[in-house]
Amino acid sequence: MEVEKIIAESKTPLIINMWATWCMPCVEELPYFQKEVALHNATAKPGDSIRLLLVSLDFKESFPENIRKFMKKRNVTVEVAWLDETNADYFCPKIDAKWSGAIPATLFINNKTGYRNFVEEKISHEKLKKEIMAIL
């Protein structure tokens, strides 16, 4: 699972958001993630930028074309990966032991500081700002 490798090898603060195009709470929070990470990264010192990775849990038929169209239509320009695994019992604990498989779900991690927080719900704009401060 490539996401595991990304988590283990991340040298900068990392936000991994698990979402799908058919999940309305997921879609509603995407602009907050894009905006807040871009705002932070515009003024961040080298090595302090946040990497945002959107991991799509869309069905195989949607990858890659429907996901690409979805992102373009909504002007989402951040990095997107597709989870090519259907067994939630296998992949959920690899992201976080508490994850039931519900989305949206977000992992905030900073390997340098040891910060790790997993949120299994839609994140408000205010809560996202607080998490970004905490991850740094």
The mean predicted confidence, pLDDT, of the chain is: 92
Q: What is the pLDDT of residue 46?
A: 80
- Residue 62 vs residue 25, higher pLDDT: 25
**Per-residue pLDDT, 89:** 80
Question: Which amino acid, one-letter code, is at 82?
Answer: W
Give 135's contacts (C-beta < 8 A, 6+ positions apart). 13, 15, 50, 108, 109, 110, 115, 117
Note the pLDDT tens digit of each residue in 1-16. 588 899 999 999 999 9
pLDDT score of 25 more than 60:
yes
Give alpha helix (H) positions in 1-136: 2-9, 24-43, 65-73, 88-95, 125-135
Burial class (CB in 10 A: 0-12, 13-18, 19+), 44: middle
Contact 131, 117 (CB under 8 A): yes
pLDDT tens track for 72-112: 999 999 999 888 777 778 888 989 999 999 999 999 999 99
- Alpha-carbon distance of 59 to 67, in angstroms, equals 10
Domains and CATH numbers, the chain: 2-135 (3.40.30.10)
